[in-house]
């Protein structure tokens, strides 16, 4: 038998699997289905590093394991190729995105095949393929027809570097999620998807999902349900006409409201301008506030600023007192009603503001939680006062922090929004038969920064006839965000080549929901939320059979560079799997990826660490080859060990504890290889090794005399009776003094133990011929011979 040399065997098996199409899943299989999904990547120009590969190895292990259990496994893969990363790469390298994307995909695919990933390539999807985005556009039109896609001029998040609008979800701590640039506000015409209509369903749907709590809580907080009340205050001199409505979660503190605050963008301000005595001061304040982001404005640490609208007063609905009205940027126009009643005695931000501007502070809740200074409500608990005051002076109101999804981008590399602007008919959807609206091949695809996408400059594309009346009309030139294609790709995998529908109902029924979804924590309030929204909508339209797409979610920790820092080109700490495979082989790479540490946690790549894994595989290779025609029986220890190993690996894969599974393989192998083993035991060992190290396992399976590949083998069962060791150690004493240990079958009776003990040299020495007078026997523990 030659030495283990991965480069001699890995390509061979990859080609075999591919040629035999072993991993293509059948829609009509009699087996139970298992749909296992991993988030599809952006095919960036840099290729995959070892961090990207970790989830692909994990999902491959889970997929191979379930095939061995007898499931019809769907393990699809595809490319999320629209959007900024692909486009920025193309601009930087002066290659058209279409061409760069194709090249990058080929490289990614080569890398994935080189790790032996068992994806079903017959289901490959690519979001930039017109046959794919035809249906992305079609789904958008369903939103439009249902009134859930709308156009509006609104102050939006604008990334000055990427030169595009961003959704709230793409702004992380005030910065662009992609490039980290501070986000600005811009007033622009935009397209929105009404995700807020699904706020409640998005919260409710979480209940039955077996997702980690941390993810559920993060989504719930992002949606941010709040219960409170709306209360009206009359305002200005024309009291008949003008009122301001505030949103409060503390209606019980109404009598403590000593002034009102409006957001700088509140529409009432300009309506009142003739009454405002310090109009120019007010205007200046409003202009300054416009430049700040919401995050900057609502930061708790920030010193509060504001300006009073002199000459304008609001009337307190209970006391009729005149209250001053201020404008301050800590009140956001996008939340609640954009106006608050300020209760400085009970709200920290109001308190700081009142101190700074010397506004009155009235305490209305005493130390015992009862109302005070509140007239007829004095003595009520805060809870009952909330109800009473809401009933008398306001209306109950549920409020969500979630905002509608800003869905248009001023960039080239995205799905064109399939709408036409007609001077007579208004906004007209492109008829279904004319889909897809193809993204034109153009020369200048760099972002303009003017708020128009580069498409706006292509007259031949923009100018069309109105689909309804035939008049000269113009195409919508905004494109969709990178999150569009990924919002429904798991549906397309069920029926990737359908040209009549986005997917056939019966196939969706067969495969959905996704049983297990691997993906990153960073997508919790982006892709994971968006795709649940699309799915809920399509479910309501009767177009998908399940309301929730992902039954179980498995997050992963990232792989850090050897320096413990995030892998990045600029740090020079990126580990390329191509090099690792060249040096150690794909199986060592796979096992080391899993061995790094708990799957959910970040772990640093240790270039030395993989050597241990490689040595393990060398030893497995030699031991199995040497014993491949073993006629021996298993020793009791070996028998126990293999049963324990099978149980451990089974449990660990089910719980996504891949690192302890690899450790168990190594430890068990050490024990087994010191014992007498049967060929049958080696076969079991190879079958449970196969999901982790599939290439060496195929090769050894052949060495063990099999013609069919190991991927067809059933997962071995363990014998629960054999999990316990069958022998125990007895302590042997003479007259209460320790004389040695004896390993004997479990539950040996007193006579057997006594006979064996007497054979010991140390025991007969201690007797020196005397008779045994008494025996103390503790089953499975001890025997004490007294003479
Ligand atoms: C009076 C009050 C008294 C308040 C008190 C709080 C404590 P959540 O839980 O996040 O919904 N608020 C309302 N709209 C706002 C806006 N557009 N910008 C900034 N703040 C706003 O918080 C609701 C509370 O936040 C509301 O209840 C309001 O202040 C403030 F002791 O009203 B409260
Ligand atoms: Zn028209």
- Return the residue whose CA atom lies nearest to atom 5 of ligand 1: 347
Report the distance separating Cα 273 and Cα 276, nearest Å. 5
Q: How confident is the model at residue 89 (pLDDT cuts 50, 70, 90)?
A: confident
**Is the C-alpha dihedral spanning 776, 777, 778, 780 positive or negative?**
positive
Looking only at the bridges linking them, the beta strands covering 149-159 and 184-193 are antiparallel
Evaluate if residue 237 carries a pLDDT over 80: no
Distance (Å) from CA 248 to ligand 1 centroid: 5
Q: Give the position, in ligand 1's atom list, of the atom nearest the Cα of 263.
A: 17
444-480: per-residue pLDDT in tens?
788 888 888 889 989 999 999 999 999 999 999 999 9
Q: Of the candidates 529, 498, 541, 535, which has an alpha carbon nearest to the alpha carbon of residue 514?
A: 535
Please enumerate in sequence order all residues whose Cβ is within 8 A of that of 617, keeping only pairs 6 or more positions apart, or say none: 4, 585, 587, 588, 591, 693, 696
Q: How confident is the model at residue 300 (pLDDT cuts 50, 70, 90)?
A: low
**Mean pLDDT, the chain, integer:** 94
- Name the packing angle between helices 97-114 and 84-92 (round to 10°): 110
Distance (Å) from CA 679 to ligand 2 centroid: 78
Evaluate if residue 12 carries a pLDDT over 80: yes
- Return the residue whose CA atom lies nearest to atom 28 of ligand 1: 248
Please enumerate in sequence order all residues whose Cβ is within 8 A of that of 363, keeping only pairs 6 or more positions apart, or say none: 256, 345, 346, 372, 373
- Ion ligand 2 — residues with CB under 5 Å? 422, 424-425, 466, 468-469, 471
Evaluate if residue 783 carries a pLDDT over 90: yes
Q: How confident is the model at residue 173 (pLDDT cuts 50, 70, 90)?
A: confident
Q: How confident is the model at residue 239 (pLDDT cuts 50, 70, 90)?
A: low
Of 289, 292, 329, 340, best ligand 1 pocket probe by most atoms within 8 Å of the beta carbon: 340
344-359: per-residue pLDDT in tens?
999 999 999 999 999 9
Evaluate if residue 90 carries a pLDDT over 80: no
Please enumerate in sequence order all residues whose Cβ is within 8 A of that of 706, keeping only pairs 6 or more positions apart, or say none: none
Distance (Å) from CA 760 to ligand 1 centroid: 84
- Return the residue whose CA atom lies nearest to atom 12 of ligand 1: 340
DSSP H or E run through 642: helix 636-654
- What ligand has the least distance to the C-alpha of 389? 1
DSSP states along 375-420? GGGTT-BHHHHHHHHHHHHEEEEEEES---EE--BS-SSSPBP-EE
What is the distance in angstroms between the CA of the first residue and the CA of the last residue of the chain? 60
Of 266, 336, 349, best ligand 1 pocket probe by most atoms within 8 Å of the beta carbon: 336
Q: Of the candidates 143, 117, 167, 700, which has an alpha carbon nearest to the alpha carbon of residue 406?
A: 167
Q: Of the candidates 515, 698, 556, 560, which has an alpha carbon nearest to the alpha carbon of residue 58?
A: 556
Q: How confident is the model at residue 229 (pLDDT cuts 50, 70, 90)?
A: very high
364-374: per-residue pLDDT in tens?
999 999 999 99
Distance (Å) from CA 138 to ligand 2 centroid: 20
- What ligand has the least distance to the C-alpha of 426? 2
Report the share of the chain in percent with pLDDT over 70: 99
Distance (Å) from CA 228 to ligand 1 centroid: 9
Q: How confident is the model at residue 321 (pLDDT cuts 50, 70, 90)?
A: very high
- What ligand has the least distance to the C-alpha of 336? 1
Q: 702-717 burial, b if ≥16 CB within 10 A, otherwise e?
A: bbbeeeebbbebebbe
pLDDT at 240: 62
Q: What are phi and psi of 560, to 5 degrees?
A: -95, 165
- What ligand has the least distance to the C-alpha of 403? 1
Q: How confident is the model at residue 155 (pLDDT cuts 50, 70, 90)?
A: confident
| 58 contacts 594 by C-beta, under 8 angstroms | yes
- Return the residue whose CA atom lies nearest to atom 22 of ligand 1: 249
Enumerate residues lining ligand 1, CB below 6 A.
Answer: 226, 247-250, 253, 263, 331-332, 335-336, 338, 340-341, 343, 346-347, 399
505-554: per-residue pLDDT in tens?
999 999 999 999 999 998 999 999 999 999 999 999 999 999 999 999 99
DSSP 633: P
Q: Of the candidates 78, 75, 74, which has an alpha carbon nearest to the alpha carbon of residue 41?
A: 78
Please state the separation of Cα 210 from the chain's center in Å. 13
- What ligand has the least distance to the C-alpha of 363? 1
Q: What is the mean pLDDT of residues 30-43?
A: 96
Report the distance separating Cα 146 and Cα 572, nearest Å. 50
pLDDT at 746: 85
Distance (Å) from CA 331 to ligand 1 centroid: 9
Query: Higher-confidence residue: 442 or 675?
Result: 675
Q: Residue 449: left if φ>0, alpha if ψ -120 to 50, beta else—which one? A: left
69-84: per-residue pLDDT in tens?
999 999 999 999 998 8
707-719: per-residue pLDDT in tens?
999 998 999 999 9
Q: Give the position, in ligand 1's atom list, of the atom nearest the Cα of 338.
A: 17
Evaluate if residue 174 carries a pLDDT over 80: yes
Q: Of the candidates 293, 40, 44, 78, which has an alpha carbon nearest to the alpha carbon of residue 178?
A: 44
- Return the residue whose CA atom lies nearest to atom 32 of ligand 1: 248
If one counts every other C-beta atom within 10 angstroms of the C-beta of residue 749, the result is 9
DSSP H or E run through 152: strand 149-159
- Return the residue whose CA atom lies nearest to atom 2 of ligand 1: 250
Q: Where are the alpha helices (DSSP H) in 27-176?
A: 50-68, 84-92, 97-114, 130-145
Of 266, 289, 335, 386, best ligand 1 pocket probe by most atoms within 8 Å of the beta carbon: 335
Report for 269-278, 408-417, 528-537: range of highest mean pLDDT: 528-537
């Amino acid at each position: 038998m030659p030495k283990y040399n991965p480069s001699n065997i890995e390509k061979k098996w990859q080609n075999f699997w591919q040629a035999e199409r072993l991993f293509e899943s059948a829609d009509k299989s009699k087996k139970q289905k298992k749909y296992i999904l991993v988030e599809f990547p952006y095919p960036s120009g840099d290729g995959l590093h070892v961090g990207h590969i970790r989830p692909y190895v994990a999902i491959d292990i889970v997929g191979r394991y379930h095939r061995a259990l007898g499931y019809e496994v769907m393990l699809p893969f595809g490319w999320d190729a629209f959007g900024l990363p692909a486009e920025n790469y193309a601009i930087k390298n002066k290659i058209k995105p279409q061409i760069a994307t194709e090249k990058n995909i080929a490289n990614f695919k080569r890398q994935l095949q080189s790790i032996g990933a068992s994806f079903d390539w017959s289901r490959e999807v690519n979001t930039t393929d017109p046959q794919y985005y035809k249906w992305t556009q079609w789904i958008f039109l369903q939103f439009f027809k249902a009134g859930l896609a709308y156009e509006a001029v609104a102050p939006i998040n604008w990334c000055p570097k990427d030169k595009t609008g961003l959704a709230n979800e793409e702004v992380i701590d005030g910065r662009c999620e992609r490039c980290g640039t501070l986000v600005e506000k811009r007033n622009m015409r935009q397209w929105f998807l009404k995700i807020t209509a699904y706020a409640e369903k998005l919260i409710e749907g979480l209940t039955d999902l077996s997702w980690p709590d941390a993810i559920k809580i993060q989504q719930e907080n992002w949606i941010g349900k709040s219960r409170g009340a709306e209360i009206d205050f009359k305002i200005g001199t024309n009291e008949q006409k003008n009122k301001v409505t505030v949103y409060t979660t503390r209606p019980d503190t109404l009598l403590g409201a000593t002034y009102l605050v409006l957001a700088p963008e509140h529409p009432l301000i300009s309506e009142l301008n003739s009454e405002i005595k310090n109009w120019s001061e007010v205007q200046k304040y409003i202009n300054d506030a416009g430049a700040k982001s919401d995050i900057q404005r609502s930061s708790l640490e920030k010193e509060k600023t504001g300006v009073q609208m002199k000459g304008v007063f609001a009337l307190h609905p209970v006391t009729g007192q005149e209250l001053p009205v201020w404008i301050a940027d800590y009140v956001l126009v996008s939340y609640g009603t954009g106006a608050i009643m300020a209760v400085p005695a009970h709200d920290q931000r109001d308190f700081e503001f009142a101190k700074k501007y010397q506004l009155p502070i009235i305490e209305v809740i005493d130390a015992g939680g009862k109302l005070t200074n509140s007239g007829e409500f004095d003595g009520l608990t805060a809870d009952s006062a909330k109800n009473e005051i809401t009933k008398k002076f306001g209306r109950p109101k549920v409020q969500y922090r979630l905002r509608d999804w800003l869905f248009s981008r001023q960039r080239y590399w995205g799905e064109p929004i399939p709408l036409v602007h007609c001077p007579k008919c208004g906004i007209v959807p492109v008829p279904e038969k004319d889909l897809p609206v193809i993204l034109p091949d153009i020369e200048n695809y760099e972002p303009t920064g003017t708020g128009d996408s580069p498409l706006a400059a292509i007259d031949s594309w923009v100018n069309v006839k109105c689909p309804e009346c035939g008049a000269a009309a113009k195409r919508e030139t905004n494109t969709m965000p990178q999150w569009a294609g990924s919002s429904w790709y798991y549906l397309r995998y069920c029926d990737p080549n359908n040209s009549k529908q986005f997917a056939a109902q019966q196939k969706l029924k067969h495969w959905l929901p996704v049983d297990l979804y691997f993906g990153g924590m960073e997508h919790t309030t982006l892709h994971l939320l968006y795709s649940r929204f699309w799915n809920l909508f399509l479910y309501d339209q009767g177009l998908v059979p399940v309301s929730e797409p992902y039954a179980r979610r498995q997050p992963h920790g990232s792989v850090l560079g050897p320096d413990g820092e995030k892998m990045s080109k600029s740090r020079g700490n990126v580990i390329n799997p191509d090099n690792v495979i060249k040096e150690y082989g794909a199986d060592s790479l796979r096992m080391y990826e899993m061995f790094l540490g708990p799957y959910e946690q970040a772990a640093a790549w240790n270039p030395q660490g993989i050597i241990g894994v490689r040595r393990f595989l060398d030893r497995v290779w030699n031991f199995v080859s040497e014993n491949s025609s073993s006629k021996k029986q298993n020793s009791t220890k070996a028998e126990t060990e293999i049963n324990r190993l099978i149980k451990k690996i089974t449990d660990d894969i089910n719980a996504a504890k891949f690192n302890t599974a690899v450790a168990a393989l190594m430890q068990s192998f050490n024990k087994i290889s010191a014992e007498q083993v049967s060929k049958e035991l080696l076969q079991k060992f190879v079958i449970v090794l196969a999901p982790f190290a599939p290439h060496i396992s195929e090769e050894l399976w052949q060495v063990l005399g099999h013609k069919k590949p190991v991927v067809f083998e059933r997962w071995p069962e363990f014998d629960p009776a054999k999990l316990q060791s069958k022998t125990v150690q007895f302590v042997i004493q003479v007259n209460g003094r320790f004389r040695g240990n004896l390993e004997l079958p479990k539950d040996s009776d007193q006579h057997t133990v006594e006979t064996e003990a007497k054979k010991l040299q140390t025991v007969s020495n201690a007797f020196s011929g005397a008779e045994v007078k008494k025996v103390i026997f503790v089953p499975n523990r001890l025997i004490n011979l007294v003479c």
